[in-house]
């Protein structure tokens, strides 16, 4: 007689449903994913999905919230790895590309401009959160160099928007490698078009501080 499969705990079942939902939402979007399919792939009945999340909307909200939290955490950590501003920019750009590479399904869900059912906002709101972190860094830098700190929010949106849009492009093409893409992003942001480095390279992590 075949050995019966071990019954999942409530926590294990919840995590299984989250992973299945994450994959389906990334592939088909919120509207293209049905509770029936989520339940079927998990080998459970529809009521089990409702029991854990109250429906597709609840599951989607959990998935989006996890991905937004992870991405924001990685970018924030990337910025904190450097003391000087170029190092912070390098860390942030590399963190976003690292997230895209390691959490492709998650990024696909976020850039779909999260469905209102998520209850956690959209990719645009996430980018705005990241820009807020950058804004404070730029304001300090502007003031140190006698520039108008009130312009920092605008420049923060410019920088973060540039990185985010490049990330969406790289999601599909995946070349060149992420370190090279990050180096060119920083090259443009740091040096400007009039003073681009011919062969930009990221500095070793130890030199970013």
Per-residue pLDDT, averaged over 102-122, amounts to: 74
Q: Is domain 65-194 given the CATH code 3.40.50.720 in the classification?
A: no
Per-residue pLDDT, averaged over 23-36, amounts to: 94
Evaluate whether 209 touches 81 at the Cβ level (below 8 Å). yes
Residue of 3, 5, 1, 2 lying closest to 42 (CA atoms): 5
Could you report the per-residue pLDDT of 116-144, keeping only the tens digit for each? Answer: 555 555 677 878 888 888 888 788 878 88
Burial 177-190 (b: 16+ CB within 10 A, else e): ebeebbbbbbbebe
Q: What angle do CA 154, 151, 184 make, to 5 degrees?
A: 55
pLDDT on residue 208: 58
Per-residue pLDDT, averaged over 168-192, amounts to: 93
Could you tell me what percent of the chain has a pLDDT over 70?
90
pLDDT on residue 83: 72
pLDDT on residue 169: 94
This prediction has a pTM of 0.83
Evaluate whether 166 touches 181 at the Cβ level (below 8 Å). yes
Instruction: Please state, in angstroms and rounded to a whole number, the distance separating the CA atoms of residues 24 and 33.
Output: 6
Residue of 19, 22, 14 lying closest to 108 (CA atoms): 22
The residue with greater pLDDT, 53 or 8, is 53
The residue with greater pLDDT, 37 or 122, is 37
């Amino acid at each position: 007689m075949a050995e019966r499969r071990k019954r999942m705990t409530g926590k294990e079942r919840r995590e299984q449903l989250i992973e299945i939902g994450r994959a389906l939402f990334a592939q088909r979007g919120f509207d293209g994913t049905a509770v029936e399919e989520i339940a079927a792939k998990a080998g459970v009945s529809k009521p089990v999905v409702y029991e854990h999340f109250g429906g597709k909307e609840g599951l989607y909200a959990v998935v989006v919230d996890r991905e937004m939290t992870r991405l924001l955490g990685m970018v924030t950590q990337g910025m904190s790895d450097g003391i000087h501003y170029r190092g912070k920019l390098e860390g942030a750009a590399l963190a976003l590309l690292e997230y895209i590479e390691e959490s492709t399904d998650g990024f696909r869900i976020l850039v779909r401009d999260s469905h209102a059912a998520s209850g956690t906002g959209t990719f645009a709101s996430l980018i705005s959160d990241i820009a807020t972190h950058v804004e404070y860094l730029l304001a300090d830098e502007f003031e140190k160099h006698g520039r108008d700190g009130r312009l920092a929010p605008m420049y923060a949106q410019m920088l973060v928007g540039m990185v985010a849009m490049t990330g969406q492009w790289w999601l599909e093409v995946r070349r060149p490698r992420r370190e090279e893409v990050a180096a060119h992003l920083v090259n443009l942001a740091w040096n400007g078009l009039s003073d681009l480095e011919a062969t930009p390279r990221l500095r070793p992590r130890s030199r970013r501080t």
